[in-house]
Amino acid sequence: MDRILFGDNQFFAVNHISDEKSMAQSIRFKDDAAIIKTLDYAIEAGVNTFMCTTHDRIANICQVIRDNPEKYRHFKIFPCMPYAHKYANAVTELGIAGTLKQYVPGNFVGSLFKGGVAFLSKDYMAIMELLIDAEMKMFKGLNTPVIFLQNVITDLLLGLKMTDVLVTFHDYVAKKYRAEAGFITMNLPLLLDVLEEAGIKNPIVCSSINKAGFRMSGGKALYKKTLETRKFRAIAMQVLAGGATSPKEAIEYVCGLPNIESILFGASSRNNINETVSLINQFDQKAIKITI
């Protein structure tokens, strides 16, 4: 995985700081062209991985990438599924069976053999595999070396103790897409316990890691210890969280932690992208100097 990954929250009005900013972002990125332009700024800054949800609009972005193979030759996408709001809204509207009918490819309860049989025999794992295929359709032909399960699902399964489902996800993306599975979570230490026990070795786990201690369930100290002592491939997200911490302090903190393979961040403007990338590069260099 690259050291720096570019996220997509800003494109879809996901803002943990302010509802007002969220609306401003929704206006700013109304057109797909604005998203593409921002991705190009990230590429210019040297960031070549886009970690994104399976939001409907990402399908359009994928098409632009497919249409410009030369320009995006080194570009990687890390899909994160599912885009939970899509399903939550569908469940409210259509119920569980109706939602499956809508999103599983083919005529789910009818002619499609795998879907129909899975539904009738309550083979939930087969249903999940069909849903993964449905979510992956938009990325056809693109380089997707890591496929993530969104935190809302990872953490729900963690609480429900449905470890088998996590394992099935892990195995299926490896088998079908020759990709590594990644897990996004707000409960890093708990998730590692469960994955390790289930025999998933050295998993890719993306979680909130920041100086403010925001969304680090179990506390900052436990996260630090986890990074120092557990074997996993860590991605830090929400690194800039906390209004009281300056970007410089925030990046210095994360770059100073051990064993973080990648840092995920999102930004709307060229300036903010360049600033964050250069801060990460700057503090990475400092960290290297100290260890030599």
CA dihedral 264, 201, 227, 144 (to 10 degrees): -10
Question: Coil, strand or helix: which one is 200?
Answer: coil
For 189-219, letters b (16+ CB in 10 Å) and e give bbbbebbeeeebeebbbbbbbbbbebbbbee
CA distance 22 to 215: 19
Q: Which is nearer to other proteins, 3 or 224 (CB)?
A: 224
Question: Coil, strand or helix: which one is 265?
Answer: strand
Of 214, 227, 249, 257, the residue at the interface with other proteins (CB under 8 A) is: 214
Cα atoms found within 13 Å of the Cα of residue 43, Cβ hemisphere only: 15
Q: Which stretch, 69-77, 185-193, 196-204, 228-236, contacts other proteins (CB under 8 A)?
A: 185-193
Q: Is residue 117 a contact point for other proteins (CB under 8 A)?
A: no
Burial of residue 230 (number of CB atoms within 10 Å: 0-12, 13-18, 19+): middle
Q: What is the DSSP string of 74-123?
A: T-EEEEEE--HHHHHHHHHHHHHHHHHHHHSSS-TTTT-HHHHHHHHTT-
CA distance 116 to 237: 39
Q: Which is nearer to other proteins, 145 or 242 (CB)?
A: 242
Q: Which is nearer to other proteins, 249 or 284 (CB)?
A: 249
DSSP state at residue 5: E
Q: Which is nearer to other proteins, 38 or 99 (CB)?
A: 99
Question: Residue for token digits 């995985």?
Answer: 1
Of 46, 145, 213, 247, the residue at the interface with other proteins (CB under 8 A) is: 213
Beta bridge partners of 147: 181
Q: How far is the CB of 62 from other proteins (least distance, A)?
A: 21
Q: Is residue 186 a contact point for other proteins (CB under 8 A)?
A: yes
Q: Which stretch, 103-111, 134-142, 154-162, 226-234, contacts other proteins (CB under 8 A)?
A: 154-162
Q: Is residue 156 a contact point for other proteins (CB under 8 A)?
A: yes
**Subset of 43-102 contacting other proteins (CB under 8 A):** 85, 89, 92-93, 95-97
Of 1, 2, 3, 13, the residue at the interface with other proteins (CB under 8 A) is: 13
Question: Residue for token digits 């009818």?
Answer: 110
Q: How far is the CB of 201 from other proteins (least distance, A)?
A: 22
Q: How far is the CB of 39 from other proteins (least distance, A)?
A: 21
CA distance 260 to 268: 24
Q: How far is the CB of 223 from other proteins (least distance, A)?
A: 10
Of 31, 40, 56, 164, the residue at the interface with other proteins (CB under 8 A) is: 164
Q: Which stretch, 13-21, 32-40, 141-149, 264-272, contacts other proteins (CB under 8 A)?
A: 13-21
Q: How far is the CB of 284 from other proteins (least distance, A)?
A: 24
- Binding characters for other proteins, 219-238, by CB under 8 A (x = yes): x-------------------
Binding site for other proteins (CB under 8 A): 12-20, 22-23, 26, 85, 89, 92-93, 95-97, 122, 124, 152, 155-156, 158-162, 164-165, 186-187, 190, 212-219, 241-244
